[in-house]
């Protein structure tokens, strides 16, 4: 009997049936997991010996913890980092393992992701990153970072999501959900108050309860209560005299009791300091102690961890209750059932076109146009045009260095490569201009190149060109944008400011392509025609930069932190040494809740570039700004509506930002705080009506007299704008 071939319709129906059966399986599996994991955990707990339980609580290698082979419990494997899966590290030290199959897609650093003001893009970012971690067989991805940008000198700001807790909270939730869809745990870090790298393992932070809850904890709280993050990493620093990684208030009470966090707390590498504190104040998995590459290692060093042999002895003696251990093990087993003991984990993917596309889209959408005198940008591809690309950052790898977020991408498109690929007709010439040195974690290595020779060559190159693109800024070397220490200066290093002056003297058509993860001083700003803030953009950096420079992409990024004119205009630095970096290893956050734009607004200090600022190649008109009521109860939401029209000649995107302030408050407040935003993409001539809902309860302040949130009655002011210092309209309403 002959079998007739199936028709295209039949095949389509079969595919649809298979698809929906898979969805049904996943739904049933998820439902079953939520109802049966607790039972599985308790059954497993009964089978474990005391020694096996303790062994689950500490590392067995640089990035793994033990399993229990006889019970089929696998090891847990972790990997840095927040914007790409780090190359394989050796078992016992920080050297690379030398694998040839551990290259990945480098995604943009999280300052860039925050600058997109696009939560949907954050979801795509997280999902793609999670796929790469899953492909590399990782169970925990050590990221994202949500520490608040307090000072522009913090060497690690490039890994975080800016100065505003609402922005960071809004952007981190879809990132975490995206990662965890792959059966990989996101590990939000560094909890909490790790806002500088200088003295990070020693400094004691003193900050008010109000600033703690209003500024420094909201993004962590959102990660726990809204994203259900499966892992969280403790911080190195102290808070009120206790180390943050095992902290009675931060970890035991706020995180695990108040927020009802059911995931694991993992130490930063060597951030644990005591067996009793680690056991009693919430640490679940201890990593790095005594094998951090900075301290000393002994024979059988993993047995000497605070949550190893010492922990076991204190459990046997009764000094630490067995219930404390069992709580940790339940969390550790729950992590496994969510990851490597889950029945429905996808396989993951790496270095595929979709990931490259996401990396490029995030990079291009996060680039911020800061200055554009006489429409210097975009630059057309003209066969009669000579463009000089000057600066070491035009060719330097920006995925190397930076500390634990260093990456080994399959490829990295440099700005020069991207510009040459985009400009097929114009003549592109290049000169290095300045040189720093190799990217190194804990030392500065000077360049062997002669600075004077590079400067002279750059000036000669600039003379030959119609347009100069100066690609400068910082790099991910020690004492720049790098883990382990902070920047030593607010200005640009390696003679860049002098070089710009020399170039402008021979060619006044200069645009600055600024590559940093931090704000920098700009004494040269008036001398250049345009400035583009480009961040560390990963594998597709050069293509994304060229997309914006050429106009193939209309810039729509907004600054996630304030650029002060001078360092002393920053709140943390305005109070002197006691506030940053601290005196005798103690620092007081004297600015309290007035971080970033809150400080500039309230103290009427003009910024160089404000939070939320970013130009476009087109123009927008915002009209019909309304709120739905004049009076609200605490259970209600405020509906802010407006019409946005693209009145320019090209397609573009604008970010409508809603700030709210309290007039005549009984407590100290910032003039206004970001409470909502929406990105709207419009074709030339197109208009759109948008609505932004803001829960009235989100206007509460943390009342230290009752140790809880308190919503004040009375009048409030809504500010609608497209930057903290560019407000279109104010509206007044009251809360009953």
Rounded alpha-carbon distances, angstroms, from residue 146 to 99, 256, 709:
31, 19, 22
Q: Which residue, among 626, 692, 732, has the nearest Cα to 170 in the 3D structure? A: 692
268 catalytic? Reply is: yes
Residues 6 or more apart in contact with residue 238 via CB below 8 angstroms: 202, 203, 204, 205, 244
- Give the neighbor-by-neighbor strand order of the sheet with 242-243: 242-243, 238-239, 204-206, 586-588
Residues 6 or more apart in contact with residue 634 via CB below 8 angstroms: 696, 697, 711, 735, 736
* Distance between CA atoms of residues 92 and 88, nearest Å: 12
With beta carbons less than 8 A apart as the criterion, state whether 164 and 560 touch: yes
With beta carbons less than 8 A apart as the criterion, state whether 134 and 347 touch: yes
Length of the chain measured in residues: 736
* Distance between CA atoms of residues 733 and 736, nearest Å: 10
With beta carbons less than 8 A apart as the criterion, state whether 729 and 644 touch: no
HSE of 359, CA atoms in CB hemisphere, 13 A? 30
HSE of 380, CA atoms in CB hemisphere, 13 A? 4
3-state secondary structure (DSSP) of residue 637: strand
Question: At residue 286, what are phi and psi to the nearest 5 degrees?
Answer: -100, 125
Q: Which residue, among 3, 1, 32, 6, has the nearest Cα to 17 in the 3D structure? A: 6
With beta carbons less than 8 A apart as the criterion, state whether 112 and 535 touch: yes
What is the rounded end-to-end Cα distance, in angstroms, of the chain?
A: 80
With beta carbons less than 8 A apart as the criterion, state whether 194 and 267 touch: no
With beta carbons less than 8 A apart as the criterion, state whether 556 and 614 touch: yes
Q: Which residues of 111-148 are buried (b: 16+ CB within 10 A; e: fewer)?
A: bbbbbbbbbebbbbbbbbbbbbbbbbebbbbbbbbbbb
Given the residues 80, 139, 201, 268, the one annotated as active site: 268
**Both tokens assigned to 74:** 């696998």
3-state secondary structure (DSSP) of residue 497: helix
* Distance between CA atoms of residues 485 and 493, nearest Å: 16
With beta carbons less than 8 A apart as the criterion, state whether 730 and 714 touch: no
User: Regarding beta strands 185-191 and 231-234, do their DSSP bridges make them parallel or antiparallel, or are they unpaired?
Assistant: parallel
* Distance between CA atoms of residues 174 and 126, nearest Å: 7
**Token match 């474990």: residue?**
48
| 643: β partners | 623, 689
Torsion of CA 356, 361, 363, 365, to 10 degrees: 180
Active site residues per annotation: 268
């Amino acid at each position: 009997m002959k079998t007739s071939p199936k028709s295209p319709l039949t095949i389509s129906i079969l595919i649809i049936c298979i698809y929906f059966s898979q969805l049904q399986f996943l739904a049933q599996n998820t439902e079953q997991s939520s109802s049966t994991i607790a039972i599985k955990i308790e059954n497993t707990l009964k089978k474990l010996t005391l020694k096996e339980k303790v062994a689950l609580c500490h590392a067995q290698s640089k990035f793994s913890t033990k399993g229990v082979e006889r019970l089929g419990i696998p090891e847990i494997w972790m990997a840095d980092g927040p914007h790409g899966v780090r190359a394989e590290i050796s078992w016992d030290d920080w050297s690379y393992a030398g694998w040839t199959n551990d290259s990945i897609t480098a995604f943009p650093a999280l300052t860039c992701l925050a600058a997109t003001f696009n939560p949907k893009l954050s979801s795509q970012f997280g999902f793609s990153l999670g796929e790469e971690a899953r492909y590399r067989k990782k169970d925990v991805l050590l990221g994202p970072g949500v520490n608040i940008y307090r000072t522009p000198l913090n060497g690690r700001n490039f890994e975080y999501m800016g100065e505003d807790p609402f922005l960071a909270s809004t952007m981190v939730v879809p990132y975490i959900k995206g990662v965890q869809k792959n059966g990989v745990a996101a590990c939000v870090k560094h909890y909490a108050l790790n806002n500088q790298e200088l003295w990070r393992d020693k400094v004691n932070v003193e900050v008010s309860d109000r600033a703690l809850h209003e500024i420094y904890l909201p993004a962590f709280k959102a990660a726990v209560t809204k994203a259900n993050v499966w892992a969280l990493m403790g911080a190195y620093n102290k808070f009120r005299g206790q180390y943050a990684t095992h902290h009675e208030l931060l970890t035991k009470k706020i995180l695990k009791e108040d927020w009802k966090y059911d995931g694991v707390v993992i130490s930063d590498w060597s951030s644990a300091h005591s067996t009793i504190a680690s056991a009693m104040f919430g640490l679940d998995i201890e990593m790095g102690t005594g094998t951090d590459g900075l301290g000393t290692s002994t024979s059988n060093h993993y047995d000497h961890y605070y949550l190893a042999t010492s922990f076991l002895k204190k459990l046997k003696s009764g000094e630490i209750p067995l219930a404390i251990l069992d709580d940790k093990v339940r969390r550790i087993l729950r992590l496994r059932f969510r990851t490597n003991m889950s029945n429905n984990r996808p396989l993951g993917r790496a270095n595929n076109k979709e990931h490259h596309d996401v990396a490029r889209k995030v990079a291009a959408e996060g680039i911020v146009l800061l200055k554009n005198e006489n429409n210097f940008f975009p630059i057309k591809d003209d066969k009669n045009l000579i463009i000089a690309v000057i600066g070491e950052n035009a060719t330097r790898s920006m995925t190397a260095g930076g500390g634990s977020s260093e990456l080994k991408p399959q490829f990295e498109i440099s700005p020069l490569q991207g510009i040459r690929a985009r400009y097929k007709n114009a003549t592109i010439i290049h000169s290095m201009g300045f040189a720093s040195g190799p990217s190194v974690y804990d030392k500065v290595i000077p360049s062997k190149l002669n600075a004077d020779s590079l400067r002279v060559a750059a000036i000669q190159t600039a003379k030959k060109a119609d347009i100069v693109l100066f690609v400068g800024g910082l790099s991910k070397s020690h004492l720049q944008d790098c883990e382990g220490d902070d920047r030593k200066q607010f200005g640009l290093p390696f003679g860049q400011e002098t070089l710009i002056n020399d170039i402008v003297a021979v060619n006044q058509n200069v645009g600055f392509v600024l590559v940093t993860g931090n704000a920098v001083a700009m004494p040269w700003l008036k001398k250049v025609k345009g400035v583009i803030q480009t961040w560390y953009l990963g594998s597709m950096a050069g293509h994304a930069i060229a997309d914006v420079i050429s106009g193939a992409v209309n810039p729509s990024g907004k600054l996630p932190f304030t650029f002060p004119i001078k360092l002393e205009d920053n709140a943390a630095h305005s109070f002197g040494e006691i506030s940053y970096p601290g005196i005798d290893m103690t620092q007081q956050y004297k600015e309290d809740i007035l971080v970033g734009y809150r400080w500039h607004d309230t103290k009427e200090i003009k910024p160089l570039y404000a939070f939320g600022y970013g130009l476009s190649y087109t123009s927008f008109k915002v009209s019909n700004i309304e709120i739905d009521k004049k009076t609200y109860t605490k259970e209600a939401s405020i509906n802010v509506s407006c019409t946005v029209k693209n009145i320019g000649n090209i397609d573009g995107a604008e970010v409508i930002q809603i700030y709210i302030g309290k007039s005549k408050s009984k407590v100290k407040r910032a003039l206004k705080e970001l409470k909502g935003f929406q990105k709207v993409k419009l074709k030339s001539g197109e208009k759109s009506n948008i609505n932004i809902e803001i829960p009235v309860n989100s206007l509460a302040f943390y009342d230290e007299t009752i140790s809880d949130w308190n919503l004040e009655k009375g009048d409030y002011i809504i500010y609608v704008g497209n930057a903290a210092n560019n407000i279109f309209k104010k509206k007044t309403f009251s809360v009953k």
